[in-house]
Structure 1
Amino acid sequence: MENLELEKSFTHNLVDIVDYLPGSVVMKAILKKKTGTVSVLSFDHGEELPSRILPFDNLIQVIAGVAEIIINDKLITIETGQTIIIPAHARNVVKANKRFKMLSTIIKSGYEDVSI
């Protein structure tokens, strides 16, 4: 089985984790646990993730380029260095009018009462 996560206790450059692939969205899970996932995605020009509704909040950080995100029919443009939280149960689409890369962090709910 292929190791999906990044090697721990080492530094990594998020922008270099996934390459652009013509006509594609490329995703690499860098941390995958029962309580949530962290993934890096690259979008080629004109690509998008289909409309979806997730049961959890999704923190999106653009790490290269410009992304268009539609949340409940509202278009929001975010650029390198900017972050947005897509609320749980909101219909959303992530689109690339230009190539871009993003970090997606989903923390599953249900652990709110557990102290760290």
Structure 2
Amino acid sequence: MPYIKNIEHEKVVNLAGEVEYMPGQVISKTLAQNDAVSVTLFAFEKGEEIGTHDSKGDAMVTVLDGVGEFTVGGIKHVCKAGEALVMPATIPHAVYAAERFKMLLTVVFPLNE
């Protein structure tokens, strides 16, 4: 059983091409999920969002296409394709698509908690 799923192995892929934009939706595709880590691709259509929440793990977003807006602890950050942002564990954060964008989300969870 592979640890990384829903993506071809031993082949170079364009991550942004692995999720498609859909009108009025946030599309996600899980690549890995266990007690230690979560890796998920997202495509946000313009105007879509994930409301304020927090996580038990550190969350790192890497924007693959477009521009995403991330509010972390009340401070807004704008990330463009090729840029990344770490949202620390337990700090409230939200995601907003002022324009459509795609991102890779990697969350690393604490062990033994």
TM over 0.5: yes
Distance in 2, matches of 1:48 and 1:20, equals 14
Q: 1:114 maps to what in 2?
A: none
Moved over 4 A (4+): none
Matched, 1:66 2:59: no
Residue of structure 2 equivalent to 1:37: 38
Gapped runs of 5+ residues in structure 1? 112-116
Deviation at 1:4, TM superposition (A): 4.5
The answer to whether the 8 A contact 2:35-2:111 is kept is no
| CA shift for structure 1 position 7 | 3.0
Q: Identity over aligned residues, as a percent? A: 28
Q: Indicate whether 1:51 and 2:58 are aligned.
A: no
Distance in 1 between residues matched to 2:13 and 2:26, nearest whole Å: 21
Superimposed CA distance per residue, residues 32-73 of structure 1 (whole angstroms, 9 cap, x where no aligned partner): 233211111000000001110101100100000000000011
Q: Normalising by the residue count of structure 2, what TM-score does the alignment of the two structures yield? A: 0.90
Q: How many residues align?
A: 109
Letter in 1 for 2:21: Y
